[in-house]
Structure 1
Amino acid sequence: MNFKHFALTTVATFGLLNVMAQKNKTIVVNTSKVTAQVQPEMWGVFFEDINMGADGGIYAELIKNRSFEFYKPLMGWTTQGSKMKEGDFLVLNRQESHANNPRFLRVNSTAAKRGDLGMVNEGFRGIGVKKGLKYDFSVLYRQAAAGVKLHVELIDSTGRVLGSGTLNPETAGNQWTSQSVSFTANETVEKAKFNLWFEGAGKIDLDMISLFPGDTWKNRKGGLRGDMVQMLADMKPGFVRFPGGCIVEGHDLSVRYQWKKTIGPVESRELIVNRWNSEFAHRPAPDYYQTFGLGFYEYFQLSEDIGAAPLPILNCGMACQFNTGEVVPLEDLDPYIQDALDLIEFANGDSNTPWGKVRTDMGHPAPFNLTMLGVGNENWGPQYLERLALFTKAIKSKYPEIKLVNSSGTDPDGERFDLLNTSLRKMKADIIDEHYYRSPEWFLSNANRYDNYDRNGSKVFAGEYAAQSVAIAKPTNKNNWECAISEAAFLTGLERNAGVVHMASYAPLFAQADGWQWTPDMIWVDNLNIYGTPNYYVQKLYSLNKGTDVVSILGDNKIISGQDSIYASAVIDRKTNEVIIKVINASSVEKSRNVVVKGAKKLAANGTLTLLQNQNLKAENSFENAINISPKEQPLAVKGNNVSLSLAPYSFSVVRIGMK
């Protein structure tokens, strides 16, 4: 026999057998074999004011340093004018009488017309302006006698006016007065500036110089950026974890997050420096502060708006252990514990309670229905366990129904994790918060991480996860498809083990294109635009296809977790009476699977297939191509109780089929 002909024939035969083997491989879903219930909170979002996520991000204020409280009082502002002279602008400090907001600006005007004396504000890396949109300007002022008129305007880089308004303060005396004016923009510009011109003779004191777009979420005055909230609402998240993250801890305890300082009138909330302003040498941000216009009341309100459970995290008497490691002595911990007790009352107490009345007076008489509370963010060591024990005793004594989320440290393994995981389980912790910033390979190989966890022990919160394309905290990390598909595979293991894993969220959530410190991030924004990364669409697909009960899904009578590069999980949704199957093909070749659904009397003749796929693992989304990698839905034929699936290379498929 011709050896070459034999070899070619053999190769062809093996190729045919391989194709036939692929076509004959079967996935069996048994809808009558429920293995766990899916918590309503299962897939949520984690918010932290990093990457200009709040000020300059979701908090829609357009003026930077509106109350002159940055460490350089005029940071963000530049004085200007043809008639400007020494002493026309003075920053005064009233620390003794207004400790939370001590500074204000005194203007001594002798301006005859616009252009003689004024100030310009640069915004947060510029100001996004939209043609036809209304802009609302407001200011707190005080003057002995009327006489100074304010001209407000938005300008482009050439100085061309994009929209303007005039405000004529009329109230005189020693009381601070609020006044506002609105105007409409005539052009769209990504990086505009704000001008404030003075006209007339006299002295006027100014504070809280503010400008908001008219398209805030739910059109709330002084509210949140609508498109950013909409991206969250579209996910239908089960929870919102806030306010972080390492900002809960602070570099040291003096700049820790204190929720009581973030509620009440906005002008009375005490600004502090953001702990991310100097953390990374590659992205210094000396102008990064927390004004707390987005405070705990607004976080609760946001959670309620998008139908998510609130999950606040509180400082446990420990500063960031990567920075100072400062701790409060155990004998001085009571005020921290009281803050936790008071927060529960603020969220759930009726109007007759002290903190319930504060919430009511802010405009929300109904409770926020808080059920979970985190004690400490990413703390570790015996010092954390000591403080946690005191918090737990006090909170459980007064509010036994509140589930407490406890930290397992910074990593999903190692000495820190082992100490905390073992100790917390002995303490019968409600929920243990595990974090994973690891390579895509780690996520693929750990999809079975929870298969052997104790079903009767403490539950897990996958509180921060994100595949790192280069290495942890590297500025060159990318939100590429390789990272996203590895996360999709890992999430099959979380879903399959919903009896252990109660919640999960990607981190960080937002990043401003010109103001970020950390990558990768789930959603990117600039002053006008927004896009979701492939990672966003992965978690969104899990959240929108959450179901109510986990059911058995097997291949060759085994859990499908990496064999032949296939990962799978399945749930049923008792509300819609559907079976939902998620399958990831993490390989570079197409694979065929015959899916057999058992347990249902009859399946609908047609289902739907939602596909997230790209053959280039380095592919990303961008402002220019926001939906480069995004879900595509198509009909799917069902024959009896069988479905034929062609799993494209590097793909995440979601199948929904009605059960009759």
Structure 2
Amino acid sequence: MPIASGQNAASVAEASGSYLTVEYDSLVEMVLSIYFPTLPVGVIVGGTAYPTKREALTMECADPGGKRRRSGMIASFALVLEICTTATVATGTFTRSHQKYAGVLAACSAAVKISVANSGGNVTSNLHQPLSSALPTSVNVKGGRGLAGLTNLGWWGIDVKEQKYTGSFYVKGSYEGEFTASLESKITGEVFASIKVPSRSVRHGWTQHNFTLTPYKSSPNVNNTFTVSFDASKTADGSLDFNLISLFPPTWNDRPNGLRKDLMQAMADFGPKFLRFPGGNNLEGNSIAGRWKWHETIGPLKDRPGRATTWGYQESLGLGLVEYMEWCDDLGIEPILAIWAGFALNGDTIPEDELDVYVQDALNEIEFLTGSINTKYGALRASLGHPEPWTLRYVEVGNEDNLNGGLESYTSYRFRIFYDAIKTKYPDMAVIASTIDMTLPDDAAGDYHLYDIPDNFVSRFNFFDQFDPKNPILLGEIAATEFNNGKGIDWNDTTFSLYPWWIGTVAEAVFLLGAERNANKIIGTTYAPFFMNLNNHQWSPTFLAFNADTAQTARSTSWYLYELFSHNHITHTLPARSDSSFGPLYYATGLNSHTNSHIFKAAVYNSTADVSVSLAFEGVSPGTRAELTVLRASDPFDMNKVGEENTVQKRSMILAGSMGAFEFKLPDLSVAVLRTV
């Protein structure tokens, strides 16, 4: 089948946790800092657990005595604040760290500041009469005789614009006053938007309050806060319980609980073809109990319990199975569903005689997506607002089961049991193994991941020449991550680049051209990871890098490579003859049957001079015109950084084919596409 420039999806969502009980004698602040990992590009959701430097999730509370106390996260957040002026998305991509929760979802909250406004106030966690079984812990805010409230700092800032923000919160307790929701500057205190929300709160039950905020002006920076406050003197006992506080900016396609528009736009612009989700390591979990459970990611947000991910942060599961499929719908891309395969990153494995229940769970998940409303799980999907089944053509069993001691059980029984069960019920579905380090049965596909130095990408140009098209390959995680060093990557001592850089991008292009030449053997290719929140990340480099300021999102040098190749899609590979061997010029040729264009894709790597090219397509008459587009950079180590200018130079020209041939020169470290017009 033709090659597709694709993606994976890793995760971008909210935070979950629970508060310590802290009592104060005077006005104080308690700040809970929640740190998250990073998303990968491509797009896949979830990541690969290699021995890299990672930051653990901590919550630190400064008490009045100046002592610092740390609490571990628990599965459900006492107060889930989803404040984000941006939503995040992954395309043909792979997501791996803070990108999922501090990125793709428009909800944006990482640090919670709880202020008690006068003497005698206190903040406590409350397990009595929970909002739901999924969110058993709420926060009780007691303000004594005056104002009290909750303030959120966002994901390292909130991008306040002249646009509508939609918000909500759950509250319990007798209160006859009004709530105030506001956006204001943390620096100057200027209030950009404020609204009074009449209370409907009652003593013994939870009520949801909804509101909109429309700032009268844009903030000059992202150092802003979102606050919900109330007059404690108008409560029955001076306190109220809160949970699931949320604030969203406009989202991609205006979806509730949706995705960040600037990141989605960057994905849409490069032309992705598929999304692999939910991972990646995010799928596997650090333990069997900690695996990604699809049925916990659907339905109302209050019924999603959250979980500890494999990248050192909590996710609220606001980005769930339905949201992933809507992501595919909104970009018009192919979903590749990864299912849990009985193996966790700590090495725990489900024995063969206990695997059936997990196989059935995977079949239930597929039925949820594809079954008619007459099936049990198809009816469940319909009840959540999606009566029409989705189309699902690809399912991947597990993630990187060749690592962490998982290969023996995977090859001896786990993959085959899942494969047989899926093919029996869905004979036309393509089933992908999570590794190619095995003999693939029947028509099974394999997934190949490669992180390496640029030279080693180039040396793999012919890697796919001997593969059998009967067992096609998904290139599910691909990225040059470390500068050339003459040996490759030492996974015990990595020195990864913060951003993709130009020579690495050109090397990736050479490798992709090798795949393009073997398109009948390749399902698709993805950069990974896809997203990185620059303020806190566990992996680099990534396809897109961002912070709270949507104007500063950086489209990497590799983004420009994928954009060029994806928008010049080859549907049929054509054989090519040359009097020169490959290198320093590497290329692939083909035809786009939809536009009837002949296409030549090329990269020049490690040349001492410009490379002269004379190109003739059989059947193309003399005088035919073609557009030549060349990408290059001023320096091999040029990078596109957050908040800075694009360093990739793009030049296009129209050529006329004299005597049926197109002649041109390509400089060293360039990527080019010629397409007849």
Superposed pair shares fold, TM > 0.5: yes
CA distance in 2, matches of 1:603, 1:204: 80
CA distance in 2, matches of 1:144, 1:80: 20
Report what 1:12 is aligned to: none
Report what 1:344 is aligned to: 366
CA distance in 2, matches of 1:510, 1:218: 20
Q: Provide, for residues 567-612 of structure 1, a one-character-per-residue CA deviation record: whole Å limited to 9, x for no partner.
A: 0001101110101111111135442434332322536643212211
Report what 1:468 is aligned to: 481
Matching residue within 184, 193, 216 for 1:163: 193
Report what 1:212 is aligned to: 248
TM-score using structure 2 length: 0.81
5+ long unaligned stretches in structure 2: 8-41, 47-94, 484-488
CA distance in 1, matches of 2:4, 2:635: 34
Matching residue within 548, 554, 557 for 1:531: 554
How far off is 1:335 after superposition? 2.2
Q: Secondary structure at the match of 1:338?
A: helix
Report what 1:55 is aligned to: 101
Q: Provide, for residues 220-240 of structure 1, a one-character-per-residue CA deviation record: whole Å limited to 9, x for no partner.
A: 222110111111111221210
CA distance in 2, matches of 1:631, 1:593: 19
CA distance in 1, matches of 2:462, 2:556: 25
Q: Provide, for residues 527-548 of structure 1, a one-character-per-residue CA deviation record: whole Å limited to 9, x for no partner.
A: 1231211111112222111121
Question: Are positions 1:655 and 2:674 aligned together?
Answer: yes
Matched to 2:648, the amino acid is I
Matched to 1:194, the amino acid is F
CA distance in 1, matches of 2:211, 2:392: 38
TM-score using structure 1 length: 0.83
Matched to 2:382, the amino acid is T
Report what 1:201 is aligned to: 234
Change (3 A) 1:657 1:240: same
How far off is 1:519 after superposition? 1.1
Report what 2:302 is aligned to: 267
Change (3 A) 1:523 1:604: farther
Question: 1:41·1:502 contact (CA, 8 Å) conserved in 2?
Answer: no
Question: 2:182·2:213 contact (CA, 8 Å) conserved in 1?
Answer: no
Change (3 A) 1:100 1:239: same
Matched to 1:204, the amino acid is L
Q: Which moved more, 1:586-595 or 1:575-584?
A: 586-595
CA distance in 1, matches of 2:533, 2:668: 32
Question: 1:589·1:648 contact (CA, 8 Å) conserved in 2?
Answer: no
Report what 2:21 is aligned to: none
Question: 2:152·2:225 contact (CA, 8 Å) conserved in 1?
Answer: yes
Question: 2:183·2:191 contact (CA, 8 Å) conserved in 1?
Answer: yes
Report what 1:302 is aligned to: 327
Question: Are positions 1:481 and 2:502 aligned together?
Answer: yes
Alignment map for 1:373-392 (pairs within 5 Å): 373-380=395-402, 381-385=407-411, 386-392=413-419
Change (3 A) 1:155 1:656: same
Change (3 A) 1:289 1:615: same
Question: 1:406·1:429 contact (CA, 8 Å) conserved in 2?
Answer: no
How far off is 1:97 after superposition? 8.4
Q: Provide, for residues 128-172 of structure 1, a one-character-per-residue CA deviation record: whole Å limited to 9, x for no partner.
A: 223x12222211223335335334333333433232222121353
Matched to 1:152, the amino acid is S
Q: Secondary structure at the match of 2:100?
A: coil
Question: 1:129·1:191 contact (CA, 8 Å) conserved in 2?
Answer: no
Question: 1:138·1:181 contact (CA, 8 Å) conserved in 2?
Answer: yes
Report what 1:406 is aligned to: 433
CA distance in 2, matches of 1:269, 1:631: 46
Question: 1:590·1:646 contact (CA, 8 Å) conserved in 2?
Answer: no
Report what 2:528 is aligned to: 507
Report what 2:159 is aligned to: 128
Matched to 1:402, the amino acid is M
Q: Secondary structure at the match of 2:420?
A: helix
Change (3 A) 1:393 1:602: same
CA distance in 1, matches of 2:289, 2:180: 38
Question: Are positions 1:644 and 2:663 aligned together?
Answer: yes
Change (3 A) 1:259 1:631: farther
Change (3 A) 1:561 1:490: farther
Q: Secondary structure at the match of 2:577?
A: strand
Q: Secondary structure at the match of 2:409?
A: helix
Change (3 A) 1:637 1:446: same
How far off is 1:95 after superposition? 8.4
CA distance in 2, matches of 1:576, 1:111: 72
Matched to 1:80, the amino acid is S
CA distance in 1, matches of 2:662, 2:198: 70
Report what 2:568 is aligned to: 545
CA distance in 1, matches of 2:458, 2:131: 58
Matched to 2:150, the amino acid is M
Report what 1:607 is aligned to: 626
Report what 1:137 is aligned to: 167
Matching residue within 442, 447, 457 for 1:443: 457
How far off is 1:615 after superposition? 4.0
CA distance in 2, matches of 1:530, 1:122: 20
CA distance in 2, matches of 1:140, 1:589: 66
How far off is 1:85 after superposition? 2.3
Report what 2:43 is aligned to: 45
Change (3 A) 1:607 1:143: same
CA distance in 1, matches of 2:454, 2:175: 66
Aligned residue pairs, count: 574
CA distance in 2, matches of 1:349, 1:342: 9
How far off is 1:90 after superposition? 2.7
Q: Secondary structure at the match of 2:256?
A: coil
Change (3 A) 1:474 1:485: same
Q: Provide, for residues 403-438 of structure 1, a one-character-per-residue CA deviation record: whole Å limited to 9, x for no partner.
A: 111022xxxxxxxx6xx33x32xx225210011111
Question: 2:183·2:224 contact (CA, 8 Å) conserved in 1?
Answer: no
Q: Provide, for residues 200-252 of structure 1, a one-character-per-residue CA deviation record: whole Å limited to 9, x for no partner.
A: 42143321111111x21012222110111111111221210011111111111
Report what 2:316 is aligned to: 291
CA distance in 2, matches of 1:607, 1:45: 31
How far off is 1:494 after superposition? 0.2
Q: Secondary structure at the match of 1:524?
A: strand
CA distance in 2, matches of 1:618, 1:490: 19
CA distance in 1, matches of 2:226, 2:268: 31
CA distance in 2, matches of 1:517, 1:447: 29
Question: 1:524·1:530 contact (CA, 8 Å) conserved in 2?
Answer: yes
Report what 1:282 is aligned to: none
Change (3 A) 1:42 1:526: closer
How far off is 1:513 after superposition? 0.6
Matching residue within 140, 149, 152 for 1:106: 140
CA distance in 2, matches of 1:90, 1:632: 61
Change (3 A) 1:170 1:603: farther
Question: 2:121·2:143 contact (CA, 8 Å) conserved in 1?
Answer: no
CA distance in 1, matches of 2:649, 2:432: 33
Q: Give aligned-pair identity as a percent.
A: 28
Question: 2:444·2:471 contact (CA, 8 Å) conserved in 1?
Answer: yes
CA distance in 1, matches of 2:152, 2:624: 61
Matched to 2:159, the amino acid is G
CA distance in 2, matches of 1:580, 1:387: 42
CA distance in 2, matches of 1:482, 1:301: 35
Report what 1:628 is aligned to: 647
How far off is 1:441 after superposition? 0.6
Q: Which moved more, 1:524-533 or 1:505-514?
A: 524-533
CA distance in 2, matches of 1:570, 1:111: 76
